C-alpha cells in the first residue's frame, strides 16, 4: 500500500532509499517544510549545519571525493541557492558527484520576482550534468532517483534539484523509484575490441611508452587494473594533480607529478616518449603547457569514459572509450610482457637534478625560516603517509601535492579545474564524515583560510577532527610568486595583514599552536596528531618562498624553471 505523505517527507524517504546518511545544509524560508520533515529523520539522516551555503557544497564535494558516494547539500532559495554555484561549478569541472537540493518559491509565484526567487535552473544548467525544477509532489521520488543516477553514473558530476515550495507541502502517494536508464543518455560507452587491439599494438611496439594517470582511475576504482597494466608492460607513469593517489608514491614505476609545478622527469620525458598513454585525464592546460609543442613526437592513446574529452585538446591516434576499470583490464590481456629498463632509468638523471636543485633545499632549508615543503613532509611522515590531504588553492596546493606522499587511494582532495580559494576548510569537514577512520590534513594558506573561515564554527559544533595546517607567509603567495617572476617584483595587493589565528582558534574552542622554527616543528605536528578532534597548527613559513620547478605560462613542458 502506498503512503500518502507530503513532498517534503517524500524527499526524506527518497534520500534514505538512495543510501544517503549525511547531508550538509543551511535552512531558510523556501526550504522550511523540508527541514521540518528532516526533524523526524535525524536518526537516519545526519544533517551538518554549515555556516555558509558555499561551505555546504564544498563539504559535499569532500565527502564524495573520499567516500566514492554522492555528496548531498540542502539549502534555501535565492541567495542560499546562488551561494552554492561556485561549488557546483567546481564539482562539474572536477567530476565530483553531488546533488544540490534548493528550495524555490511556489509555482504560482514563479516569474513574479517574488522574495528570494532566482532562476536556479537557468543559472546552473551550463555547470551541472542535470538541473531540474520539481513542481509537483508526485515527481519527487522520480526526480531524486534520476538525480542520483545521473550524478554517480559515467563521468560523475553535480546535479541540481530546484524544489518548489508548493511541491514540498502537497500530498502524494509515495513509493520508491529506481531510475537506471535514460533515453539518449549513455553514461558508459561500450568497449570496442578493435580500439583495444589498436591500443595494445601501439603499446607493444613502443620503445619509450609513458602513462599519464588521471583522476578517472580513482573515479573508476581502477587502481589495481592500472598497476597491472603498467607493470606488465614496464611503463613509467606520471600522475596529474587529481590522480596522485591512484598510484602509490613509492611504486617503482611512479615517476611523479605532471604539470606546471610537477616533477622534472615526467614533464621532460613527455616530449621524449614515443607512445603517450593517457588514462582518465583531460589534458588540462596546466598539464600540457604549450599545446603546439606538447608530445608532438608521440603516438597518443587516450582511455576515457567521456567522448567529449577525445581530441578536445590533444589529438588521439587511438581512443579507447569506456570504463577504465574494464578497458585497462582488456588491453592488459593483449600486452606482451616488457621492461623498457633503459627508458625507465632515464628518469633518474632528472630526479637527481631536481633533488639537488629543488627538493633538498626545500626540505632542508639553510635559513632560519620554515619552508612550506618542510612542513608538508613532516606532516605526511607523521601520518605514516596514510593521511588524506585536503588543500586550498595556490602555493599551499602545489607544495602540498608535491611533498605529501600517498599510500592509499582517494587520498587527495583539491580544487583542480576551477581553482577555488576557500575550498579546503569545508571540503576537509566533508572528508571527515566521508572517511571517519582516516586522518584528514587540511593544508591551506592564510588567504584561503580567511575565505571560508566561518566554517570553524561547523568544526566547533561537530567536533570534526580536521587537522588544520596554515602555511602563513603573510602573502597571497601564488600571485606574489608570479609577480616576482613575471612582473618585476611589483607586489600589487598581495601582502596580507593577518589576524591572530591562535585567538581565533581559541574563540572556536579549537586547540592550536604556532610554530616558527625547524626545531619545534616535529613536536608541534605530533601534538596536533595526538589531540583528539580538531587542531589548528599555524606554521610561519618563509614569506617569499617559491614553488619550483615551474613551467612558465605559455612554455613547453620540457622547459621547466628550477630557480627564479
Contact 318, 202 (CB under 8 A): yes
Number of C-beta neighbours around residue 338 at 10 A: 16
Cell 629543488, located at residue: 358
Sign of the torsion angle spanned by Cα atoms 241, 446, 456, 363: positive
The grid coordinates listed for 307 are 567522448
Above 70 in pLDDT, residue 444? yes
Q: What is the pTM of this model?
A: 0.98
C-alpha–C-alpha distance, residues 28 and 110, integer Å: 18
Contact 246, 217 (CB under 8 A): yes
Alpha helix stretches (DSSP H) within 371-423: 372-382, 395-403
Summarize pLDDT for 332-378 with one digit per residue, the tens. Answer: 999 999 999 999 999 999 999 999 999 999 999 998 999 999 999 99
List of E strands, 90-204: 98-104, 130-134, 158-164, 171-174
Terminal CA-to-CA distance of the chain, rounded, Å?
72
C-alpha–C-alpha distance, residues 40 and 356, integer Å: 61
Q: What is the pLDDT of residue 219?
A: 98
Residue 3 φ then ψ, to 5°? -95, 135
Contact 56, 28 (CB under 8 A): no
Strands 512-515 and 535-540 turn out to be: parallel
Q: Which pLDDT band holds residue 192 (cuts at 50, 70, 90)?
A: very high
Summarize pLDDT for 61-82 with one digit per residue, the tens. Answer: 999 999 999 999 999 999 999 9
Q: What is the pLDDT of residue 471?
A: 98
| Closest-CA residue to 15 (of 99, 78, 110, 106) | 99
Contact 474, 545 (CB under 8 A): no
C-alpha–C-alpha distance, residues 240 and 560, integer Å: 16
Summarize pLDDT for 503-538 with one digit per residue, the tens. Answer: 999 999 999 999 999 999 999 999 999 999 999 999
Helix (H, G, I), strand (E, B) or coil at 369: coil
Sign of the torsion angle spanned by Cα atoms 13, 18, 23, 28: negative
Summarize pLDDT for 11-54 with one digit per residue, the tens. Answer: 999 999 999 999 999 999 999 999 999 999 999 999 999 999 99
Helix (H) or strand (E) holding 302: strand 299-304
Contact 98, 54 (CB under 8 A): no
Summarize pLDDT for 290-312 with one digit per residue, the tens. Answer: 999 999 999 999 999 999 999 99
Sign of the torsion angle spanned by Cα atoms 38, 42, 43, 49: positive
Number of C-beta neighbours around residue 112 at 10 A: 9
* DSSP per position, 39-58: GGGTTTSEEEE-SSHHHHHH
Residue-averaged pLDDT of the chain: 98
Q: Which pLDDT band holds residue 564 (cuts at 50, 70, 90)?
A: confident
Q: 121: alpha, beta or left, given left = phi > 0 and alpha = psi -120 to 50?
A: alpha
C-alpha–C-alpha distance, residues 348 and 376, integer Å: 24
Q: What is the pLDDT of residue 1?
A: 58
Summarize pLDDT for 65-124 with one digit per residue, the tens. Answer: 999 999 999 999 999 999 999 999 999 999 999 999 999 999 999 999 999 999 999 999
Summarize pLDDT for 248-275 with one digit per residue, the tens. Answer: 999 999 999 999 999 999 999 999 999 9
Provide CB contacts within 8 A for 104, sequence distance 6+.
30, 77, 81, 110, 117, 120, 133, 162, 163, 164, 165
Mean pLDDT (whole number) for 176-195: 96
C-alpha–C-alpha distance, residues 201 and 331, integer Å: 10
Contact 182, 190 (CB under 8 A): no
Summarize pLDDT for 373-400 with one digit per residue, the tens. Answer: 999 999 999 999 999 999 999 999 999 9
C-alpha–C-alpha distance, residues 260 and 427, integer Å: 24
Amino acid at each position: 500500500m502506498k503512503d500518502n505523505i507530503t513532498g517534503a517527507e517524500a524527499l526524506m524517504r527518497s534520500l534514505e532509499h538512495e543510501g544517503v546518511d549525511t547531508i550538509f545544509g543551511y535552512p531558510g524560508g523556501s526550504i522550511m517544510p523540508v527541514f521540518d520533515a528532516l526533524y523526524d529523520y535525524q536518526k537516519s539522516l545526519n544533517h551538518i549545519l554549515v555556516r555558509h551555503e558555499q561551505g555546504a557544497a564544498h563539504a559535499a564535494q569532500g565527502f564524495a571525493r573520499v567516500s566514492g558516494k554522492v555528496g548531498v547539500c540542502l539549502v534555501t532559495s535565492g541567495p542560499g541557492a546562488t551561494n552554492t554555484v561556485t561549488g557546483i561549478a567546481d564539482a562539474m569541472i572536477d567530476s565530483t558527484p553531488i546533488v544540490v537540493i534548493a528550495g524555490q518559491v511556489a509555482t504560482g509565484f514563479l516569474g513574479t520576482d517574488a522574495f528570494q526567487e532566482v532562476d536556479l535552473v537557468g543559472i546552473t544548467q551550463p555547470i551541472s550534468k542535470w538541473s531540474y525544477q520539481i513542481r509537483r509532489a508526485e515527481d519527487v521520488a522520480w526526480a531524486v532517483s534520476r538525480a542520483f543516477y545521473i550524478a554517480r553514473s559515467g563521468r560523475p558530476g553535480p546535479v541540481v534539484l530546484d524544489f518548489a515550495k508548493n511541491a514540498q507541502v502537497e500530498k502524494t502517494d509515495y513509493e520508491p523509484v529506481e531510475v537506471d536508464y535514460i533515453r539518449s543518455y549513455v553514461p558508459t560507452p561500450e568497449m570496442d575490441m578493435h580500439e583495444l587491439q589498436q591500443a595494445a599494438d601501439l603499446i607493444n611496439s613502443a620503445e619509450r611508452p609513458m602513462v599519464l594517470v588521471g583522476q578517472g582511475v580513482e573515479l573508476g576504482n581502477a587502481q589495481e587494473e592500472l598497476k597491472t597494466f603498467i607493470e606488465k608492460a614496464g611503463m613509467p607513469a606520471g600522475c596529474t594533480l587529481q590522480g596522485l593517489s591512484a598510484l602509490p608514491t613509492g611504486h617503482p614505476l611512479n615517476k611523479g607529478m605532471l604539470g606546471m609545478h610537477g616533477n622534472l622527469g615526467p614533464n621532460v620525458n613527455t616530449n621524449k616518449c614515443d607512445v603517450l598513454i593517457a588514462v582518465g585525464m583531460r589534458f588540462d592546460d596546466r598539464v600540457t603547457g604549450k599545446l603546439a609543442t606538447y608530445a608532438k613526437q608521440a603516438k597518443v592513446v587516450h582511455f576515457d569514459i567521456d567522448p567529449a574529452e577525445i581530441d578536445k585538446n590533444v589529438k588521439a591516434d587511438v581512443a579507447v572509450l569506456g570504463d577504465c576499470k574494464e578497458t585497462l583490464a582488456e588491453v592488459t590481456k593483449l600486452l606482451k610482457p616488457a621492461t623498457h629498463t633503459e627508458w625507465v632509468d632515464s628518469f633518474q638523471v632528472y630526479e637527481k637534478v631536481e633533488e639537488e636543485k629543488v627538493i633538498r633545499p626545500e626540505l632542508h632549508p639553510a635559513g632560519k625560516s620554515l619552508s612550506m615543503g618542510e612542513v608538508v613532509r613532516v606532516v605526511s611522515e607523521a601520518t605514516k603517509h596514510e593521511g588524506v590531504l585536503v588543500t586550498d588553492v595556490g602555493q599551499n596546493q602545489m607544495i602540498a601535492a608535491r611533498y605529501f606522499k600517498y599510500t592509499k587511494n582517494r587520498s587527495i582532495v583539491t580544487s583542480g579545474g576551477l581553482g577555488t580559494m576557500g575550498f579546503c576548510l569545508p571540503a576537509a569537514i566533508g572528508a571527515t564524515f566521508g572517511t571517519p577512520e582516516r586522518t584528514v590534513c587540511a593544508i591551506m594558506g592564510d588567504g584561503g583560510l580567511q575565505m571560508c573561515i566561518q566554517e570553524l564554527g561547523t568544526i566547533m559544533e561537530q567536533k570534526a577532527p580536521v587537522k588544520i595546517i596554515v602555511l602563513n607567509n603573510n602573502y597571497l603567495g601564488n600571485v606574489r610568486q608570479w609577480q616576482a617572476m613575471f612582473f618585476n617584483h611589483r607586489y600589487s595587493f598581495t601582502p596580507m595583514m593577518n589576524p591572530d589565528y591562535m585567538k581565533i582558534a581559541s574563540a572556536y574552542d579549537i586547540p592550536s599552536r604556532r610554530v616558527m622554527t625547524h626545531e619545534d616543528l616535529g613536536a608541534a605536528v605530533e601534538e596536533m596528531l595526538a589531540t583528539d578532534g580538531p587542531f589548528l597548527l599555524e606554521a610561519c613559513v618563509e614569506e617569499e618562498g617559491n614553488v619550483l620547478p615551474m613551467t612558465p605560462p605559455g612554455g613547453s613542458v620540457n622547459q621547466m624553471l628550477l630557480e627564479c
